[in-house]
Structure 1
Amino acid sequence: MKQKMKHISIIMVVCCILTMMPFNAFTAKAASADEAIAWVQSQVGRSIDYDKVYGAQCVDLIKAYYNYLGAAPVNGNGCDYATNALPSGWMRIQGAVPQKGDILVYSGNSSNPYGHVAIFESEWSTYHQNFDGHPYVEKITTISYRGFTNPYWGVVRPNFTGSGGSNPSVATSWNLWTNSLQDRNAVIYGGISTSASVQFNRAGAYVWDESGRLIAQGDEGTSVRGYYMEIKYDIRSELGASLEPGSTYTYQFWADFGGTRYYSGKSTFKTTGTKMRFTDVRQGDWYYDAVKYVFEHNIMTGYNPTMFGPNEPLYRVQFAKTIWNLEGNPHVSYSYQYPDVPYGAWYADAVMWASNANIITGYSNGYFGAGDLINREQMAVMMYRYAQYKGYYTGQRANIYGYTDGYKVSEFARNAMSWAVGSGIITGKYHETQLDPQGYATRAECATVLKRFMEKY
């Protein structure tokens, strides 16, 4: 019986060996960054044609590097390392400050659409193959890693055990948590515990957005000694990144001691607020930043979650609502003032407040004009009155007659338009030649005016 089991075991081992042979079955082995660089140095002057295709290319050096680290080489051009498969435990970080042993990834450009890959030792010490057409591995020390012709994209980071030493007798564990979640910020914490007292040397963190793009990183020295160290970062004030409302982010901490860098696992958090998902407002549109700004500040919303209507005209009641939102939605008691502003209408509170504050008034016929569109000079007047209501300085003036249609500005709106142009809240149209005072204001124009006003005051 034992003899039969032995034969079965041998067959299973052989099958496992056979099934592990394809390149996509490799797993990364542990090696320090110093060991990896020593291997690369041993290849200097050699011509490596790993895949036997197109001669010794930059990617052949990287494929051999993968193989040395016990990982499955991947196919593709240099720029493809920004997106191709990663071995287990490895990281890809766009825009990262490289660390020893990282694979540098360069995007394609007009002169070399295939991109480039190299290996990083220090800012002025990198290893390349096929650099300037040289079909061999060489060390470049005359150009910074950011100074090559192809634009620097980021790194692929192998799962090294450390940068020189190891601490097999020291066990580590991490605890990650967040605090103060806001629309645009969060505070992240990482606590590392060790089984022996150690001297921590450096610590830091990485933060990625939903697309996997690195948006922030921390790196600092530390003098902490003991069994535990807590690392904390305020992402906005300490790492200099502004987050997006309603978005998910991933973060990871690291700490160095004893010549080894220890990484935590990755954790995620979601900011408060609502993420803008308008399909008719795209990055690159002249009004994108303004719409995003007023949406995230709860000043303007869309017609529905996916449509903002940037080129749609704006109604008087809609503008009254935006000013009321800007003021923080103050409570008002309804009183019958206008036949076209009934009790319970979605705009009733906004109109009541704006009318009582003398910001938007009705017509001489007793109606408010709820269904009327608002034009650009009326918008200037209402913003001017709101600024005065708030006690802001409104002495800025511009010569509106420098515009070809400046004479068309109605008398009641001249001071307001002069202030709006002088303060930069309203600008000219058609290459700054016309004010278009009687032209109907679009929702995109309204968003732009509100953003400028809020940033100024």
Structure 2
Amino acid sequence: MKTFNEALTRLEWYVGKYVDFDGVYGQQCMDLAVDYVYWLSGIRMWGNARDAFNNDFKGQFTVHQNTPSFQQQRGDIAVFTRGRFDNQYGHIGLVYTDGDLNGCMILEQNWDGLANSPAKLRWDDCTGISHFIRPNYEEPTVKSVTSVFKAKKPTSLSTITPAFNRAQNRGRSLTAYVKGSIDSKGAEVRKRQGNRWRGFNWDRKAGYDLNPGDIVYIFEVHDGWGRIYTGKTSGPGSNDWIWLGRMNVIKVYK
């Protein structure tokens, strides 16, 4: 089994890649998940997407039912068998960001059923997901991260809990909706592509990252992503976006 950090690097690598693990039927959703599990553990999953959680993972993965209180984690495998996916195939994807109880960003193939596109990111409200498959990583990275947080001195951020709904879409504004600080994991900046008729995606990287503690202002919110401006509280903004799960809220303006 690989480490948590190795898994995160693999997730980044998948974005924009065409994954056809078995070489038949094009880029199916299951191809991406099978490749990921095989790369992590050497285990080759069988079956359709809806069968994934019935595999024998030999103690290297833990299967969790998706309940209203369950918090998904980046690197989990999301198995869709509810709603439109309650059929013989189901759907499957990889959890790209932790998100929150309202949803998360999913990395997936074949969302449109054409099996001819690369792995893409899409915001999902998690209502169609019945199970999450979580790798039992080689090292307890979550515990080590927790110890780092405990060692830090309390800051003003730890006591600020302003109301700001990251899941609520808000149109482009000339003044900031919110001021925030990038969390300890840093944030990769991406470009938005597409339009409101065909849909948007954030597959293209902007070519730079924001560091922990960097201050950002958010001028637009769409599907859990925020358009950033790093200089002032007003202005035209830019086409640079971050996943809002990487931002600690400092001040809500409106």
TM-score, reference length from structure 1: 0.28
Structure in which a larger fraction of residues adopt helix = 1
Tell which has more relative contact order, 1 or 2 (C-alpha 8 A, sep 6+): 2
Structure in which a larger fraction of residues adopt strand = 2
